[in-house]
Amino acid sequence: MYYTPGWGAVITAVSTLSGVALTQWNANRQSWRQHTEARRVEQRVAVHDVLVAASRLEATLDGKLVFAIDQEVNGTVIDDVDEHYMPIFIELGTRANELLHAVRKAELVVTVGKIVAALDELNSHRVDLVRIITESEQAVRKREPDSRSLTDATAKLATLYFELRTVTRNEFAR
């Protein structure tokens, strides 16, 4: 085959269009990767907020309320129950609401099934935890404090926290 101006034009056009197609394909692939990574970061941040709220709730439960109840059970005299316990119960209510808001936000953002299931389980335990805290508040007011149910609920919260963290790590490590 001999070179003619017609063949040169065809080869130039095919080469140019091939180069444009490859460039567009590569740009689309990079854009998709950036979008996917931004989405994963958004999901990680939402789960992180849940984990922070859960750890704060656990710390308040275990570090303040259970400690205060155990002090009273072990003989420490508490003159004014409201003054001693109410700031702790108010803080627990705030922490439980923070966890609720963080879980609701994460449920809107996270699309990974296993993580959503772990969030649902954590939120259902939060509902149980609020009930247990309310019962503990009533028991404290009656001067019958008992920290066993709170200790069990705190242990379960810690377990669910660990499960959510593990599932999130496994799912986002891929």
The pLDDT tens digits for 74-125 are: 777 777 777 888 888 889 889 999 999 999 999 999 988 999 999 999 999 9
Binning pLDDT at 50, 70 and 90, where does residue 2 land?
low
pLDDT, position 150: 85
DSSP secondary structure string, 12-24? HHHHHHHHHHHHH
Output DSSP code: residue 143.
T
The average confidence (pLDDT) of the chain is 86
CB 96 within 8 A of CB 57: yes
Distance CA 124, CA 99 (A): 11
Instruction: Return the higher-pLDDT residue of 127 and 83.
Output: 127
- In sequence order, the 6+-apart residues with CB closer than 8 A to the CB of 39 are none
pTM over 0.75: yes
Measured at the CA of 145, the angle between CA 142 and CA 147, to 5 degrees, comes to 155
CB 69 within 8 A of CB 88: no
Helix pair 148-172, 5-60: axis angle to 10 deg: 170
Q: Tell me the Ramachandran region of residue 3: left when phi exceeds 0, alpha when psi lies from -120 to 50, beta otherwise.
A: beta
Q: Where are the domains of the chain?
A: 40-172
Instruction: Return the higher-pLDDT residue of 7 and 55.
Output: 55
CB 145 within 8 A of CB 139: yes
pLDDT, position 174: 65
pLDDT, position 148: 83
Q: Indicate whether 25 pLDDT > 90.
A: no
Pick among 1.20.120, 1.20.58, 1.25.40, 3.30.70: CATH of 40-172: 1.20.120
